[in-house]
Amino acid sequence: MMWTNKAKKHALQIIDEIKSTIVLLYSKYSLSTEKLAVNWMIQINKTKIWEVLSDTTSKRLKNYGGFPEEEAPEFDSDMAKLRNLVEKL
């Protein structure tokens, strides 16, 4: 999905509103904070990235149009390399 400048600006405005609301709720309900481990955040994103990469194969991409048969082995190898790198995180 390509974001237009207008869409980016709108998203940033919504994010600012979310942040303001969180600050308000924090104060209103006397909440405490909890620090999230960076490792936990990485693991969540890593799982999603790995899922996407696992579904990105030349065979599955054929469903979206013709995938060049001669490029399929190299493409699948490149995707496997990316999956392996993600697993090392």
Is pLDDT above 90 for 3? Answer: no
**Which of 37, 46, 40, 49 has the alpha carbon at shortest distance from 89?**
46
pLDDT per position as a tens digit, 28-57? 988 888 777 778 888 888 888 888 888 888
**What is the Cα–Cα distance from 38 to 89, expressed in whole angstroms?**
12
Whether pTM > 0.85 for this model: the answer is no
Q: Work out the pLDDT band at 14, boundaries 50, 70, 90.
A: very high
In order of 5, 18, 20, the CA distances from 13 in angstroms are 12, 9, 11
